[in-house]
Amino acid sequence: MPIIDTHCHLDVAAFDPDRSQVLQRTRAAGVCAIVVPGIQADGWPGLLRLCDIESYCHPALGLHPVFLEQHAPGDLDALQQRLQSRRPVAIGEIGLDFFVRELDPGRQTDLFEQQLDLAEHFDLPVLLHVRKAHDQVLGALRRRHLHGGIAHAFNGSLQQAHKYLDLGFRLGFGGMLTFERSRKLRDLARQLPSRALVLETDAPDLTVAAHQGERNSPEYLPDCLAALAEVRGESSAAVAACTTDNARQVLGL
């Protein structure tokens, strides 16, 4: 049952001590592909090197809203230049985070809109980070003709979920689904059509229940698969097949 981790920050320093061993265990766990999203411009070279070395790692490039103060004025131009020389699987991780109050909403929106313009120009899907801003993000998406993408770590309403689906997006589910206390999220995952679903870990963050308090890892993706199959009352094989197919379709893997 090959499965795809559609969102894993395997390039960050948390994996520097044992990245090769993590990858070995991840492959052994049945993960056939990992999408590695970019968050800051200074991290893109290392991310791309990792994906060159590990052929089943696929790069996405973007400027994350939470790192708004770290982004330099020329980073958007640098992103455009990167996209002209090398085509990633997506632009991301991009979006809006209105949960973190100290992040300026106007500057976030400007950064997000300009990256959506690049996604439209280069005909690339996007990997979305959205907190307390689904309606604003959906509005920005509707104003463009985009190649779909993934709403990562989706935690919106069922109504909002269907609005993303209507725009060609899939919804990412990961470690939070493995916690029984995540009742709202588990109920949402149960109600969605199978075409909506993709798996992710967001490692090293948002770890699974069996490793609470530890660094998250792409090798734990089978835990996310098992949780999604459980809440939907379906076999792991069926959920693995549909999530892998969905990821391949939306990201062109």
CATH 3.30.70.1230 fits 3-251, yes or no: no
Contact 115, 63 (CB under 8 A): yes
Q: Where are the domains of the chain?
A: 3-251
- Give the rounded percent of residues in the chain with a pLDDT score beyond 70: 100
> For residue 7, what pLDDT is reported?
98
> Among 182, 160, 205, which Cα is nearest to 14's?
205
pLDDT of residue 1: 84
Contacts of 48 (CB under 8 A, 6+ apart): 59, 86
Residue found by looking up tokens 């985070």 in the block: 97
Determine the pLDDT at residue 186.
98
Q: What is the pLDDT of residues 60-83, one digit of tens each?
A: 999 999 999 999 999 999 999 999
| pLDDT at 239 (0 to 100) | 98
Q: Say what the pLDDT of residue 238 is.
A: 98
- Tokens read off for 198: 């993709």
- Provide the token pair at 138: 């959906």
Ranges in the chain, pLDDT < 70: none
- The model's pTM is 0.97
Which residues contact residue 219 at a Cβ distance below 8 angstroms, ignoring those fewer than 6 apart? Answer: 22, 25, 26, 28, 29, 31
Q: How far is CA 133 from CA 117, 118, 200, 236, 242, in A?
A: 19, 21, 21, 32, 28
